[in-house]
Amino acid sequence: MKKIALITGATSGIGAACARKFAGAGYDLIITARRSEQLTMMANELTQGFGVQVLPCCFDVRDREAVKRAVDSIPASWRDIDVLINNAGLALGLEPEYAGDFTDWETMIDTNVKGLLYMTRLIVPGMVERMKGHVINIGSVAGDAAYAGGAVYCATKAAVKILSDGLRIDLSHTPVRVTTLKPGLVETNFSNVRFHGDTERAAKVYQGIQPLSGDDIADVALYAASAPAHVQIAEVLILATHQASGSVICRS
């Protein structure tokens, strides 16, 4: 029987890796992103490469009304969503908290926290009604402790952990599972976005260490989704071998 996974932020990084990994496992996919051209390209790649059905939905998770319109427009044949992967998220800036940019703060909070809440509120009731489903939230090692210049981003990822824990408690009377994945250093376009397109500065983040890849995180996501129904992988911290915490990295 076909399963359906909905993945936010599915056109790059961990989201794209999850889309490919779940498509390879036979899931049909609802993929979301803000950029329609890249979303179409990703949908075509998945359809042609894996032979699965793909429903692209273009919207910004920060826009609650747009999220609701998109979810309401999902055809009936696609509504039985088995896995929701709340992946859309970003970091912006690395300034001290007292010198941070208001717009960067609002974008991080609106995307990483409120966007996750909007998707959860609109998708999970269907899982509860069907008594079947799994929510996988992409958090971060940054949610475990603050580091210099990252206070607001760290706070948003701490919120992801607490919101996931709270959702797991609220769903404990149902078979619906909740997993938080907390990656460490993953080489994607994350740092390029954080530094507003400064590619040279972004590249330095990954120098002297073999970082994780999006595929590494997608492997864990699929493992959690594939566990027997009585097994709930509640939380996984995934670090590069030479990374000990959000701020301790041994570089060669």
> Domain boundaries in the chain?
4-238
pLDDT at 18: 98
Does the domain at 4-238 match CATH 3.40.50.300? Answer given as no
CB 139 within 8 A of CB 157: yes
Structure confidence at residue 1 as a pLDDT band (50, 70, 90):
confident
- SS3 of 145-206: the string is CCCCCCHHHHHHHHHHHHHHHHHHHHCCCCCCEEEEEEECCECCCHHHHHCCCCHHHHHHCC
18-43 pLDDT per residue, tens = 999 999 999 999 999 999 999 999 99
Looking at the predicted structure, is the pLDDT value of residue 71 above 90?
yes
Instruction: Tell me the pLDDT of the chain averaged across its residues.
Output: 97
Catalytic residues: 153
**Cβ atoms of residues 46 and 20 within 8 Å:** yes
- At 141-191, the pLDDT tens digits run 999 999 999 999 999 999 999 999 999 999 999 999 999 999 999 999 899
